[in-house]
Amino acid sequence: MTWWIRSPLVAVALVWLGFLAVFGEPLAAWRPAPLEARAGVVILVTSPSNAGPGSLREAILTADRAGTRTRIEIRTPRIVLESPLPPLVNPKGVVIDASPSDTEIDARAVPGGPVLDVAAARSFVRGLKIRGAAGQGILVRAAGARLVQVTLADCDVGVHLVEGAEDLLVESSTFEDNGTGVRVAAGASGVSVSNNRFRKHERAAVWAVSPSPPQRTASPALVVRQNRFDEDRISVVLINVLGQVEDNQFARAGEAAIYLTGPGVVRRNRLHGGGGVGLFADAPSGALIEDNELDHNFAFGLLLRQASRTVVLRNRVYENGYGIVVVFGERGGSLVADNLILSQGEDGLYVVGASPILRANRAFGNRGVGLRVLDYVPLQGAPHIADPRLEDNDFRDNALDAVQGEYHELRARPKAR
């Protein structure tokens, strides 16, 4: 009996592998486009020029006049712009598909304004590269936009979602060397930023800021999930925006991987190798910081300042300058529980002028103090007394396990003339 007869399933599998090797690419071309990418009218872009027949400019103007959803297919590898493109305003939506050619738009000669202005609801952009925008690479002013496999590089702002817009998806895309990668204005909702790569942003990779705290809602305004951030000044800025930052990888942030004010959920991320702070929670309120890994950050793994109703739970903090630092805040205003704090260059838990609940934390092998508690003594006024509530913590093998004392505010040095 031969091996083939004894293993019929193996033989069938090998036949199918051979079939896919020969016909896989042609079959892929026959697959229908996703629903959001389908349209009743198709326009081809074949010219690399700023304007004229076959140009992207002419295609957008034609799509805007169409009475149905329109698809623009770009068949040229490069387009050189001299001025901003017309906005997408077709009320039925516009699809711009540059895949598989991955067309690059060179916008370095455009003096300002958005390169691509998406004002048509449910528009879909795929495979487009925009480089060198003095303003926004893509401005989103309508609901339901989908940006997939796009690249924004050397732009002042890669993608800007305006106030009041909603339901934006940015997925499987690349942002590099921009001022800001994705900017979400106050009042936006239903924003998902997932499975993207961000690198070397001068201000922030993702910026979501509101002037006032949000109303309590059932769903977050912004979800940042499964992205990779590398060498940004600050990777994610969340100020007064109800957001979820989950399952991301942060590496080598210049100042902070995450800056958080107000509510929010920061869960299952790795924040590694930053030049300053892994996570800076500045006046967080009702925030949850859970199950993150913070390591090899130069100054602090986690800095918690003026926290209220904030929970720091089950994080793994190791090989930072300081581990978890809690500064100021109302009595019992934060719960720091069940965290593993290992091998910091200085102190594991560092509490200044604050009275959090510290429960079931384990601080081992830190080269400074396992737990340092300091009253804050200002130059003028009453001191901020530090009186944390300690419950079932375990401090072992640190240079010193616990120290209590005072932190005196330093007088500012006079400026040199």
The predicted structure's pLDDT at residue 187: 85
The predicted structure's pLDDT at residue 349: 98
Break the chain into its structural domains and give their ranges: 84-408
Q: Which of 133, 103, 100, 96 is nearest to 115 (CA)?
A: 133
Q: How far is CA 12 from CA 6, 8, 15, 224, 269, in A?
A: 12, 6, 5, 42, 42
Residues in the chain: 417
> Is-above-0.85 flag for pTM?
yes
- The string of pLDDT tens digits covering residues 49-105 is 999 999 999 999 999 999 899 999 999 999 999 999 999 999 999 999 998 778 999
Look up residue 126 and give its amino acid.
R
- The string of pLDDT tens digits covering residues 356-374 is 999 999 999 999 999 999 9
84-408 architecture in CATH?
3 Solenoid (2.160)
* R_g of the chain, CA atoms, integer Å: 26
Is the pLDDT at 264 greater than 70? The verdict is: yes
- The string of pLDDT tens digits covering residues 154-201 is 999 999 999 888 999 999 999 999 999 999 998 889 999 999 999 999
